[in-house]
Structure 1
């Protein structure tokens, strides 16, 4: 994997200083520790940091075509590059290297923007065509690899894999975007259609941006989408067999590498299925790694051990302390924007462990979104059945009132914590789901924000993006619409951002087989009852994997990477909770009611409320505001 950066002058081909491009790419050195390069021509400059994975000797970048017409800086892997290369050779193209980078160069020359549909993989790249005086920015279908860009004051467009690559350019004005703060407080991350730095954009998953010098700036174009409106035909057994074949193909295509390769193994269904299919395809022991915790109720390592023994993997594991909050500064530096998914901590640790023995690691990410594995899908389906029986006006009146006055009982047994369910039943399905995926509801945000914030937001509301996407989703069922929205918002904004930044922070390439776009489309076409049945998500996937994995792994309660942040803020981080409530950065921003923040910290410390996730959010925001804008310094 790699880091890319560059400059393109939009109207006049003014010289680009190579040192300027080098500075942008050098701050991405963690993404590519094996090499660097800068290429400039009138009006354009491309920078690259390389993590060597394919064609170690011949894949240096930026890569320029033999005739000097086309230059590219590329981050990612095209898994079917050998097949595409063979097709291009039949069409008369001559190759100088064995890299997938050169396949993209020739693919552009042959097919133009349509080359994207030929590539199966994860990628973000910038390609300059001197004949057309154009810059072509493209991002893979699901958004596995990131790409940021911004129009600068010197009439140029700057781009980089990470926000920090743009921040080193003095022509970028650093000003916060309050709408992104609203989004972050709602979801715990800044979605891909927003950025905390005003004027910076993220190229959306499955989109490209084609800019021609001297012509008006255009908007990105969507080149791929998943369709939940289709339905696969065939018996359950036939669909199960087809699923196994598609999963097998997705895994084996991602095992092509010229460097050591392994897999993350948590002991959950998704990573265990990856390891099972890798072991089936490999002639040698698969290298696996897992992280265990020193707190037994959070530790999944025995399941990882069970899978490792079953497939005789070369397994490495490490126990870490659950109070590994010393990584806070590392997280702030890695993510640039505030990011409050606390599972980033153990993700970083497992990436560190993997990097000790491999350069590429396969992960199980994406299966929950593709096959309806999150518990919230089952809750949503149940709520939708209730909505189907009771008219909206009655629901709003009845459940809206009950939800408003029912106490919020964080301390009570789960069946008695009915406030969120009652509130959800009083809303439309889209509004309710938007709240379900959030971490800080609108009512709490209204309490925390200062009086000026609603006016300055000018009607912007974080949840509205979910409502809009779900209502326009290509699907037949409420589950279709929820999964589609998660693939568009949650997956690239949270899950893939976490895995990309944590793996790249240690120079590790992570590959996600369950995000093969052909597998995603097949999963989207499965009948609803083969995705979710009897409250059991990933229903057909689990049936398909029964030939490889024991029920103890397939049907155990889902945990994921858990960190005890609530306990931290009542224990070793109690002082940090109090500091946040008096944060100079948060106060200086003018966005928060500091008295309300003090109340949050006090209520959590006393045990009257569980505000652990909210305090973590505020702490990560505090760090980012200091780093990005110098607030509180």
Structure 2
């Protein structure tokens, strides 16, 4: 795993400054501490930080083609690079290395922009073609690897693997993107293609861009989407066998490395499935690691230990103190823009633990989205039956009124939180799902933001993010639709972002077999009842694994990878919450918020009357991330 950076002059042939490019590259040293390199010509500069995984001796970047006409910087792993190299050799290409980077050079030379169709893996790369005077940017299908870019006022394109690379350029405008703030307080992250800065963007997953000297800025071009093409079914037994074969092969191709390799083992279904496949594929014990908290409701290590014992893995675990809140400011620096998933803390710790033993770790990320494992899917489908039975014209006034009148009961079990259910039933399916996943509801955000900031938004709402994805969805099945929405928003914006930054902070490469795109294409085509059957999510996956994993690992209630925020904000972080959110030097200085409402949130939470831990954490991480930029909204 690596970090990339670059400067490309769209309007002239100015040569990028070596010191500036090196400084941009140095901000991501943690992504590739093994080696670094620069490539500079009139009009273009490419930079790279390397974490050596394959072909340790000769995989240095930036990498040139044999005729020096092409140059690439690349972050990721192409798992089918050997097959592609064989195909390209048959076409007359000659390779000087044994790594996947060189394959990208000649894949571009042979297939042009369609080269990405042939790549199986995770990747973000920039390839300069001096003959065509072009720069080709590409990001993998799910956005496992990040890619940020901006076009400056003087016509220079700058890009990098992390936002801090872009921020290192002195000419980057730091204007706040108001729509990103609205999105963040609904979702807990800034969704693609936005960033917290108005002039910086993310390259969307499964998209490319082709820049040329002297030509206008291109639009992002999509090369892949989750197809949801129906899969032919002979019998359940056949489906189980095919799923296991596909999963085993997806794991196998990700076990190629010239450095120590292992797996995260949380004790959940997905990571346990990956470990089971690894144990079947190698003769020596699998290296596994787990993190738990010293609070039982947040600790899954006993289940991880059962899987480790079953497969005789080299298992090591660590229990983190429930007072492990010192990472707050470090996390803000890692993520560069507001990011509010508190499970980033245990994720950071498990990556820190894994790096003590391995350089590559396989994870189970993506299983919940693909196989309908989240509890919220069950609730959504319960509500969906009623939405389909009653027209929106009837539901909206009836349940809208009930939602306004019914008291809020966040403290109660989900089944008794009728207010949330009524509010969901008053919406269409897509907007009901957005409501169910929002950290701060529409009403809360309306109360939270200042009048001045709401004028800045000019009527914009996060609703358009979900509506736009729904409009482009290849499926209209209710369950498949919300899975698709999660894979376009939550998976890339939250889960994969969390893992990339936490792992790269420790120079650890994480591979994600459940996001293998051939596996995904097959799984997406399974009928919804193979994923969610009655109350059982991941139905087919669990049935397929019954002979390989303990019953209580497969069928126990899902446990989140969380931290005790509510306790922190009434205890050790009590004063920080008041200082950062309410005092004059904190959020009040931005003009973005209604300070009376923030004071009410803090008072209600710290008195124990309500649990506002999720919005308070979201506010705290916003303050920790953007305070140095001094965003101010005019009154």
Normalised to the residue count of structure 2, the TM-score between the two structures is 0.98
Unaligned runs of 5+ in 2: none
Moved more, 107-116 or 126-135: 107-116
Q: Distance in 2 between matches of 1:75 and 1:380?
A: 37
Aligned equivalent of 2:94: 94
Q: Distance in 2 between matches of 1:496 and 1:413?
A: 29
Q: Tell me by how many angstroms 1:398 deviates.
A: 1.5
Corresponding residue for residue 85 of structure 1:
85
C-alpha contact (below 8 Å) 1:434/1:467 kept by paired residues: no
SS for the counterpart of 1:279 is helix
Flag the 1:486–1:27 CA change in 2: closer, same or farther, 3 A: same
Does residue 144 (structure 1) correspond to residue 144 (structure 2)? The answer is yes
Q: What is the correspondence of 1:82-231 to structure 2 with a 5 Å cutoff? A: 82-231=82-231
Superposition deviation, residue 631 in structure 1: 7.5
The 1-side partners of 2:133 and 2:34 are apart by 31
Report whether the alignment pairs 1:596 with 2:580. no
SS at match of 1:331: helix
Q: What corresponds to 2:625 in structure 1? A: 624
Q: Which residue of 2 aligns with 1:44?
A: 44
Q: Is the 8 A contact 1:12 1:213 kept in 2?
A: yes
Superposed displacement of residue 460, structure 1 = 1.2
The 10-residue stretch of structure 1 (254-263 or 209-218) with the greater mean CA deviation from structure 2:
209-218
RMSD: 1.3
- In the TM superposition, 1:281-320 aligns within 5 A as 281-320=281-320
Q: Which residue is 1:573 aligned to?
A: 573
1:535-592 deviation per Cα after TM superposition (whole angstroms, max 9, x unaligned): 2111101111112111110001101311110111111111122123314242222110
Measure the CA separation in 2 of the matches of 1:172 and 1:580: 27
Secondary structure of the structure 2 residue equivalent to 1:194: coil
TM-score by length of 1: 0.98
Residue correspondence of structure 1 range 214-293 to structure 2 within 5 A: 214-293=214-293
Tell me, in whole angstroms, the C-alpha distance in 2 between the residues paired with 1:581 and 1:110: 55
Mapped partners of 1:321, 1:613: distance in 2 = 20
* Cα offset, 1:491, TM superposition: 0.7
Mapped partners of 1:405, 1:160: distance in 2: 49
Distance 1:435 1:312 in 2: 44
CA distance in 2, matches of 1:97, 1:234: 45
Aligned pairs for 1:404-415 (under 5 A) are: 404-415=404-415
Look up the SS of the partner of 1:325 in the other structure.
coil
Q: Distance in 1 between matches of 2:374 and 2:237?
A: 24
Query: Secondary structure in 1 aligned to 2:357?
Result: coil
1:232–1:527: 8 Å Cα contact kept in structure 2? Answer: no
Q: 1:277 to 1:628 in 2, by over 3 A?
A: farther
Structure 2 equivalent of residue 544 of structure 1: 544
- Who is 1:436 aligned against? 436
Deviates more, 1:330-339 or 1:620-629: 620-629
Shift of 1:432: 0.3
Asked if the contact 2:129–2:135 (Cα under 8 Å) also holds between the matched residues in 1, the reply is yes
Q: Quote the Cα distance in structure 1 between the aligned partners of 2:463 and 2:235.
A: 38
2:342 aligned partner:
342
2:60 maps to what in 1?
A: 60
Cα offset for 1:229?
4.6
**Residue number in structure 1 paired with 2:453:** 453
Structure-1 residue corresponding to 2:611: 610
Aligned length: 632
Distance 2:388 2:560 in 1: 32
Q: Is the 8 A contact 1:430 1:471 kept in 2?
A: no
Deviation by residue 1:333-367 (Cα, 9 ceiling, x = unmatched): 10000111000000000000000010000000001
CA–CA distance in structure 2, aligned partners of residues 567 and 231 of structure 1: 47
In the other structure, the counterpart of 1:533 is 533
Q: Distance in 2 between matches of 1:73 and 1:459?
A: 40
The equivalent residue for 1:33 is 33
CA distance, structure 2, for counterparts of residue 378 and residue 229 of structure 1: 23
Indicate the residue corresponding to 1:419 in structure 2. Answer: 419
Conserved? CA contact 2:592–2:632, under 8 Å: no
Asked if 1 retains the 8 angstrom alpha-carbon contact of 2:230 and 2:527, the reply is no
Aligned equivalents of 2:106 and 2:315: distance in 1? 40
User: CA deviation digits over 1:21-52, x for unaligned, max 9?
Assistant: 11111000000010100110110000000000
Structure 1 residue 481 corresponds to structure 2 residue 481: yes
CA distance in 1: counterparts of 2:40 and 2:102, whole angstroms: 18
- Point out the more displaced range, 213-222 or 339-348: 213-222
- Matched-pair contact (CA < 8 Å) for 1:232–1:522: no
Q: CA deviation at 1:625?
A: 1.3
**1:411/1:486 Cα in 2 relative to 1: closer, same or farther (>3 Å)?**
closer
Question: Corresponding residue for 2:515?
Answer: 515
In 2, distance between residues paired with 1:314 and 1:453? 53
Displacement of 1:105 in angstroms is 0.5
Q: Tell me, what secondary structure is at the counterpart of 1:211?
A: strand
SS of 1:569's equivalent in the other structure is helix
Alpha-carbon distance in structure 2 between the residues aligned to 1:453 and 1:33: 42
Q: Counterpart of 2:46 in 1: which secondary structure?
A: strand
Unaligned runs of 5+ in 1: none
Residues 568-577 or 31-40, more deviating: 568-577
Q: What secondary structure does 1:254 align onto?
A: helix
